[in-house]
Amino acid sequence: MKRLTLLAALCAATSAQAAQDTAGLVRFVACPVYRDTDAGRKSGCWLADDRENGKRWDVTESPYKPDWNFAVLVEGRPSANAAQPCGAPALDPVRTSRLDIPCTRHMIPAEGFPGRRYTLPRRNIAPLSVARAVPPGPYAERVFPVYFEFDKDFLVYQYDDWLIDNAVTWIKAAKPKKLIVTGFAATAPETVSGVTIAERPEAAQERAETIAETMRRLVPGTAVETKWEVAAQPTDEPEADGLPWQSQRRAEIRAVF
**Shortest spacing between CB 16 and other proteins, in angstroms:** 29
Among 47, 164, 167, 255, binds other proteins (CB under 8 A): 164
Between CA 31 and CA 91 the distance in angstroms is 16
Among 3, 41, 112, 137, binds other proteins (CB under 8 A): 41
Q: How many residues bind other proteins (CB under 8 A)?
A: 41
Among 55, 56, 65, 227, binds other proteins (CB under 8 A): 65
Using only the alpha carbons of the chain, give its radius of gyration.
19
Torsion sign across C-alpha atoms 181, 223, 138, 127: negative
Between CA 230 and CA 199 the distance in angstroms is 9
Q: Tell me if 69 contacts other proteins by CB under 8 A.
A: yes
Q: Is 190 helix (H, G, I), strand (E, B) or coil?
A: strand
Site string for other proteins, 21-40 (x = CB under 8 A): -------------x-x-x-x
For other proteins, the closer CB: 154 or 257: 154
Q: Is the peptide bond before 176 cis (omega within 30 degrees of 0)?
A: no
List of residues 6+ apart from 213 with CB closer than 8 A: none
Say which amino acid occupies 109.
P
Among 13, 25, 26, 155, binds other proteins (CB under 8 A): 155
Residue 115 has a CB neighbour count (10 Å cut-off) of 21
Q: Contact at 8 Å (CB) between 177 and 224?
A: no
Between CA 189 and CA 82 the distance in angstroms is 34
Residues 94-123 binding other proteins (CB under 8 A) are: 100, 107
For other proteins, the closer CB: 142 or 152: 152
**Shortest spacing between CB 21 and other proteins, in angstroms:** 27
For other proteins, the closer CB: 18 or 144: 144
Stretch that binds other proteins, among 16-24, 75-83, 146-154, 227-235 (CB under 8 A): 146-154
Among 28, 46, 57, 245, binds other proteins (CB under 8 A): 46
Nearest to 73 by CA among 89, 92, 50, 105: 50
Q: What is the DSSP letter of 211?
A: H
Between CA 203 and CA 24 the distance in angstroms is 28
Q: Tell me if 214 contacts other proteins by CB under 8 A.
A: yes
Q: Tell me if 226 contacts other proteins by CB under 8 A.
A: no
Task: List residues near other proteins by CB under 8 A.
Answer: 34, 36, 38, 40-44, 46, 63-69, 100, 107, 125, 127-129, 149, 152-161, 164-165, 210, 213-214, 217-218, 220
